[in-house]
């Protein structure tokens, strides 16, 4: 029997939620039935060596840098990748840059439309596939729709489509070009259907796959805290960015330390050095420089999660963060902000504390856990009695591509 040719389009294999989600997904694939290519914008990242050996990893020949654009490097990348080779392309780019200056509130809309416009210069993939999956979100969806030859195309939506606001005309066009759109939580599914009802019949809710036994085994052999701190350890896993709410965490940390709580807040994840510097400088200025600890990145974060006292996710917005699911599996007292899928993740407060988004909500939620050991014990017992294994979710994917 001939194998189904499956292409998955990604960006990198860095230590982040989408990449962790993909590793669990990939481990469940039936390689006797599927011939799998993973096309990465950049063939790099600590998780690269963890991919199943059956997956053929390939790198985009050109323009991979376009998938890692930020506001800080956009002009430089576009100049180096396009304008140096064809100076006339400056006339295509200038109107978009002008719009970002004239209409700053629509800057994110304009930036994404510029990205899609420049994508017309990307080459089309040579190989034709039975199924192509845009697993890494919006840019990979745009690329898969326009540049990949496949009989069926599936887009993965890991984020809350409605927050921050997105360009419905642009996204709606590309969602409509996909055969299926995978959403990772009921709330995200509802939100997308409400915003774009014309694509509701294409949406399939499929939770991120979690391999419970593997996570628990890895936690027992992972590196962990080495600072001999004798107070309460609070941990957040995630890239240092505005979305993740580390500024809220810092404000809460300052207040709690000033009130006499013996705590340290640890950050496990990479990010822009400038953003990290700002947080460190603010912590030092407030006298809590030794209380905010940046651990960098690691392939195996589970030792830190297992050994922390509180797991916290003070984000401004989220899809359904993998790290919260991992903290649930490792039975930690959890605080999260009230992002879209928060109630779904913590069973409306049965598995942890949900607080209002912001510094005040973060402060109150963490303080509640610090002050109430009985509540923490209750959460741990609830989590210990629950089964979070869901490797059977892969069957939904197989049904989609039949």
DSSP letter (8 states) at residue 235: E
Give the pLDDT mean for 313-317.
Answer: 97
Confidence of residue 393 (pLDDT cuts 50, 70, 90): very high
pLDDT value of position 336:
98
Q: What is the pLDDT of residues 184-240, one digit of tens each?
A: 999 999 999 999 999 999 999 999 998 898 899 999 999 999 999 999 999 999 999
Q: What is the mean pLDDT of residues 341-352?
A: 97
* Confidence at residue 188, expressed as pLDDT on a 0 to 100 scale: 94
| Burial (CB count within 10 angstroms: exposed 0-12, middle 13-18, buried 19+), residue 145 | buried
Q: Could you give the dihedral angle defined by the CA atoms of residues 224, 230, 236 and 241, in that order, rounded to the nearest 10 degrees?
A: -110
State the pLDDT at residue 1: 77
Which contacts qualify for 360-364: CB closer than 8 Å, 24 or more apart? 361/248, 361/314, 361/337, 362/245, 362/248, 362/249, 362/251, 362/252, 362/312, 362/314, 362/335, 362/337, 363/251, 363/252, 363/255, 363/256
Q: In angstroms, rounded to a whole number, what is the distance separating the alpha carbons of residues 307 and 39?
A: 36
Are residues 334 and 327 in contact, defined by beta-carbon separation less than 8 angstroms?
yes
> Which pLDDT tens digit goes with each residue over 99-137?
988 888 888 899 999 999 999 999 999 999 999 999 999
Could you tell me the pLDDT band of residue 272, with boundaries at 50, 70 and 90? confident
pLDDT at 69: 83
Q: How confident is the model at residue 70 (pLDDT cuts 50, 70, 90)?
A: confident
Residue 262 — very low, low, confident or very high, per pLDDT cuts 50/70/90?
A: very high
Q: Are 23 and 50 in contact (CB under 8 A)?
A: yes
What pLDDT was estimated at residue 230? Answer: 95
Domains of the chain: 4-210+392-401 (3.40.50.2000), 213-384 (3.40.50.2000)
Q: What is the pLDDT of residue 100?
A: 87
As a residue count, the chain comes to 402
The continuous run of DSSP H or E covering 242 comes out as none
With the C-alpha atoms ordered 221, 223, 224, 228, is the resulting torsion angle positive or negative? positive
Bond preceding residue 164 cis, omega within 30 of 0: yes
Lowest pLDDT segment from 75-84, 136-145, 164-173, 368-377: 75-84
pLDDT at residue 45 in the model: 93
* Structure confidence by residue, pLDDT tens digits, 33-52: 999 999 999 999 989 999 99
Q: What are 370-375's contacts with CB under 8 Å, separation 24+?
A: 370/232, 370/256, 370/261, 370/263, 370/310, 375/333
Contacts of 20 (CB under 8 A, 6+ apart): 47, 322
Rounded average pLDDT over 356-383: 98
How far apart are the C-alpha atoms of 28 and 73, rounded to whole Å? 36
State mean pLDDT over 82-97: 90
Look at residue 332 in the predicted model and tell me its pLDDT.
Answer: 98
The pLDDT assigned to 72 comes to: 75
Work out the mean pLDDT of the chain and round it to a whole number: 95
> For position 369, what pLDDT does the model report?
98
* Percent of the chain scoring above 90 in pLDDT: 85
Residue 47: its pLDDT value, please? 92
Pairing of strands 34-40, 56-59: parallel
User: Closest Cα to residue 207, out of 391, 17, 8, 14?
Assistant: 391
pLDDT tier for residue 250 given thresholds of 50, 70 and 90: very high
- Residue-level pLDDT at 184: 95
Residue 16 has pLDDT above 90, yes or no: no
pLDDT of residue 101: 87
Nearest to 221 by CA among 159, 131, 158, 298: 298
Task: Give the rounded percent of residues in the chain with a pLDDT score beyond 70.
Answer: 100
Task: State how far the Cα of 324 lies from the Cα of 244, in Å rounded to an integer.
Answer: 13
Q: What is the mean predicted confidence (pLDDT) over 311-335?
A: 97
User: Do β-strands 292-296 and 310-313 pair in parallel, antiparallel, or remain unpaired?
Assistant: unpaired
Point out which residues pair with 233 in neighbouring strands. 264
- Reported as a single tens digit per residue, the pLDDT across 283-306 is 999 999 999 999 999 999 999 999
pLDDT tens digits for 56-67?
999 999 999 999
User: Long-range contact list for 354-357, CB < 8 A, 24+ apart?
Assistant: 355/314, 357/245, 357/248, 357/314, 357/315, 357/316
pLDDT of residue 389: 84
Residue 38 is predicted with a pLDDT of: 98
Q: Is the pLDDT of residue 97 over 90?
A: no
CA distance 116 to 339: 28
Predicted confidence band of residue 15 (pLDDT cuts 50, 70, 90):
confident
């Amino acid at each position: 029997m001939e194998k189904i040719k499956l292409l998955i389009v990604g960006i990198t294999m860095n230590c982040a939620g989408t990449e962790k989600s993909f590793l669990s997904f990939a481990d469940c694939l039936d390689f006797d039935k599927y011939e799998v290519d993973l096309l990465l914008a950049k063939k790099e990242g600590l998780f690269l060596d963890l991919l199943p050996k059956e997956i053929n990893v390939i790198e985009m020949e050109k323009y991979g840098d376009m998938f890692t654009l930020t506001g800080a490097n956009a002009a430089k990348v576009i100049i180096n990748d396009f304008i140096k080779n064809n100076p006339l392309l400056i006339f295509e780019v200038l109107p978009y840059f002008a719009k970002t200056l004239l209409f700053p509130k629509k800057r994110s809309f304009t930036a994404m439309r510029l990205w899609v416009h420049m994508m017309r210069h990307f080459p089309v993939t040579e190989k034709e596939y039975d199924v192509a999956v845009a697993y890494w979100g919006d840019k990979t969806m745009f690329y898969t729709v326009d540049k990949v030859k496949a009989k069926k195309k599936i887009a993965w939506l890991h984020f809350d489509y409605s927050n921050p606001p997105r360009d419905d005309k642009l996204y709606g066009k590309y969602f409509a070009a996909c055969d299926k759109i995978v959403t990772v939580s009921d709330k995200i599914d509802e939100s997308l259907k409400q915003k774009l009802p014309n694509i509701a019949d294409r949406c399939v809710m499929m939770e991120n796959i979690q391999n419970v036994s593997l996570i628990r085994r890895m936690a027992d052999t992972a590196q962990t805290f080495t600072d001999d701190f004798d107070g309460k350890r609070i941990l957040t896993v995630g890239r240092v960015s505005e979305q993740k709410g580390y500024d809220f965490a810092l404000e809460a940390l300052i207040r709690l330390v000033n009130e006499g709580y013996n705590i340290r807040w640890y950050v496990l994840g990479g990010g822009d050095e400038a953003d990290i510097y700002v947080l460190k400088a603010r912590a030092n200025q407030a006298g809590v420089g030794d209380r905010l600890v940046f651990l960098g990145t690691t392939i195996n974060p589970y030792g830190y999660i297992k050994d922390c006292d509180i797991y916290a996710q003070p984000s401004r917005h989220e899809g359904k963060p993998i790290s919260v699911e991992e903290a649930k599996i490792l039975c930690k007292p959890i605080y999260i902000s009230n992002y879209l899928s928060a109630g779904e993740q913590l069973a409306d407060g049965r598995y942890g504390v949900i607080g209002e988004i912001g510094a005040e909500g973060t402060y109150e939620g963490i303080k509640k856990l610090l002050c109430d050991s009985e509540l923490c014990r209750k959460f741990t017992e609830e989590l210990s009695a629950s089964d979070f294994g869901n490797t059977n979710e892969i069957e939904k994917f197989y049904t989609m591509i039949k």
